[in-house]
Structure 1
Amino acid sequence: MGTSSRLLRYVESRKNLTGSVCGLAGVGITLTGAAGGLWPLVVGGLYAAGALIAPPERPDTPHFPGTGEQLDALRADFAALREYLAEVELPSAAREKLTGLTTLVEALLEPGWVSDPEHLHVLGRAVRQDIPEAVDTFVRTRWWSRFTPGAEPPEQHLERQLSVLHEETSDIADALRQAEAIRQEIHTRYLEERGP
């Protein structure tokens, strides 16, 4: 940071502005004749006192993405995930479970539904970590399972993982449904109690 930018920051700082106001008060005192020959000390002292009592500068708080920005980013990541999943070859039972899961996630990511940070976290973890890892692990394990006949089929693990993930996202859908039911009930009660 150059000298000119540091000087400009100080000129705009709270300390300088408060000191300047107090220094102007000192000029006012001088103009009344109360400071006499000591007017430079009065003006300088009041400026220094103002600069000392001014509140310290605070750095700007960092900007974190709001719910809308997080949802937009999550939707973009989900679109990338769907492209990846379309290219992966899966057994029909696992593909059916995966389709059910991604359909539910897509519905939850529609605008206006999910705003709870915990729900966003669960969906983000599912889209960015759990689903791709489950599918990728299946693909890798299936390749190696050719060399170990008789081992537990990797699609069983994939189906179990997808069932757990579907249950997690279903919990979010249930919570949203319950919240809407309560909202509807409250509105009905309000309309009934409001009367004509």
Structure 2
Amino acid sequence: MATSEHPSKLLTFLESRKNLTGSACGVVGLALTFTGVAGAYWPVVVAGLYGAGALIAPPERPAPPDFPDPAARLDALRGDFAELRDYLAEVDVPPVAAARLTRLDELLAALLDPGWAAELLAQDPEALHALARAVRQDVPEAVDTFARTRWWTRIAPGQEQPDRHLERQLDLVHDELTTVAGALRETEARRQETHTRYLEERNP
């Protein structure tokens, strides 16, 4: 293990900015030696110039993380939405909750459609986060919790029916995503108003 790390560290040092800059300055020192300027102290001159070059070299800057761009995150979210749809198709929920799920499905499908909404979402990290949370956490957790709680209610009746909790949770998710859609609409409206003002100022 150690023997494989040493060559890697040595190669990293040889390719570093400090070594390259110091080596360039050291070459200058050799040139001074060949021209007779350095004299008998040429080793000190070469070493000094190398050290000075290494000191003035800019520090190494690690490469930033290569996170996926918004378009890639949207594509991944669409795939997760399709998986969520497959899951919901297998779950038995009461008619009222099923209607709320259908309404929520239509809203999510519209927001994730690869059209104008996707362009706005790619520029709004908070809206994209809200959609991802709804698809990957809020909706599946609400439905799964309902299914498990309903099972316990059947074998231990007398408790509060889980249907109302599910309906309320789906309403809250829908309200949040409706707010997201409204914010995206306002963004487009402001863009339109800005263009109108531009045309008015250009044509007084």
Give the TM-score normalised by structure 1: 0.91
Q: CA deviation at 1:122?
A: 1.3
Give the corresponding residue for 1:147: 155
For residues 30-70 of structure 1, give each alpha carbon's deviation from its aligned partner in whole angstroms, at most 9, with x where no partner exists.
23322112222211221122223323323222222221222
Give the corresponding residue for 2:11: 8
Give the corresponding residue for 1:112: 119
Q: For 2:177 and 2:67, how far apart are their aligned partners in 1?
A: 25
Q: For 1:106 and 1:113, how far apart are their aligned partners in 2?
A: 15
RMSD between aligned residues: 1.8
Q: For 1:193 and 1:59, how far apart are their aligned partners in 2?
A: 47
Give the TM-score normalised by structure 2: 0.88
Q: CA deviation at 1:119?
A: 1.2
Q: For 1:105 and 1:55, how far apart are their aligned partners in 2?
A: 49
- Which of 44, 53, 69 pairs up with 1:41? 44
Matches within 5 A, 1:9-24: 9-24=12-27
Q: For 1:53 and 1:76, how far apart are their aligned partners in 2?
A: 50
Q: Identical aligned pairs, as a percentage?
A: 61
- Indicate the larger mover: 53-62 or 182-191: 53-62
Give the corresponding residue for 2:86: 83
Q: For 2:165 and 2:46, how far apart are their aligned partners in 1?
A: 80
- Indicate the larger mover: 122-131 or 67-76: 67-76
Give the corresponding residue for 2:33: 30
Structure 2 counterpart of 1:99, one-letter code: T
Give the corresponding residue for 1:61: 64
Residue 94 of structure 1 pairs with residue 111 of structure 2: no
Matches within 5 A, 1:115-130: 115=122, 116-130=124-138
Structure 1 counterpart of 2:144, one-letter code: D
Structure 2 counterpart of 1:15, one-letter code: K
Q: Rate the CA distance shift 1:171–1:13 in 2: closer, same or farther, 3 A.
A: same
Q: For 2:44 and 2:157, how far apart are their aligned partners in 1?
A: 94
Give the corresponding residue for 1:157: 165
Q: Rate the CA distance shift 1:180–1:27 in 2: closer, same or farther, 3 A.
A: same
Question: What SS is found at the alignment partner of 1:113?
Answer: helix
Question: What SS is found at the alignment partner of 1:146?
Answer: helix
- Which of 181, 188, 198 pairs up with 1:180? 188
Question: What SS is found at the alignment partner of 1:127?
Answer: helix
